[in-house]
Amino acid sequence: MSEDLEEPEFETLHEYKGFEVRKYVDTIQAQVSSPDSKVVNSSIHFRQIANYIFGNNDKSQNISMTAPVHTWRQEDETLMAFTMPSKFNLKELPKPNEKRVKLLNVKGGVVAVLKFSWFSGNARTKKLTQKLQNLIKAEGLKQRGNPKLAVYDNPMTTLPFARRNEIHLPIQWKLNRP
């Protein structure tokens, strides 16, 4: 999925043993959410946003796919988001026909990033998130938001060992670090 796809711009602020710290630019995202109380199939969220970028919108306009696809939990919801291509502003994007797809301006920020390959199922993601939380704590950094799973490659067409996945964990960062 990610080989020739646009990705959000970022600056690597620091590389630690086991993770790095990045500062991302502001983006626009197409997001879908559902209550955690329901059994959520990520393929349903994916299809809803994919349908939007493949023309299920008020202009029947195709929008280029980008990477990564983000998934995360926030309070009592599970969310998925695609970042829109940087050439668009919010007013230029077509409106989704699917009412569950929301277009939002998302403020950039500083995140700790743990890279991994192979599978990105719930148990593995949870374990790696805990590992990243332990790594940042050991470096004296503080978490300031919910972790997100960033999936860069199509799991249906990319061999597991070649997959590019990341855990993104928002952190507090002082400009004079490290």
Peptide bond into 35 cis (omega under 30): no
The pTM score is 0.88
Residue range 16-69, pLDDT digits in tens: 999 999 999 999 999 998 876 454 567 788 899 999 999 999 999 999 999 898
Which of 136, 141, 79, 145 lies closest to 107 in space, CA to CA? Answer: 145
Question: Is 177 contained in some domain?
Answer: no
**Are 99 and 114 part of one and the same domain?**
no
Q: What is the CATH number of the domain that holds 40?
A: 3.20.80.10
Cα atoms in the Cβ-side hemisphere of radius 13 Å centred on 38? 11
Q: What is the C-alpha separation between 125 and 159, in angstroms, rounded?
A: 18
Residue 78 is part of which domain span? Answer: 27-106
Closest CA to 50 of 66, 74, 35: 66
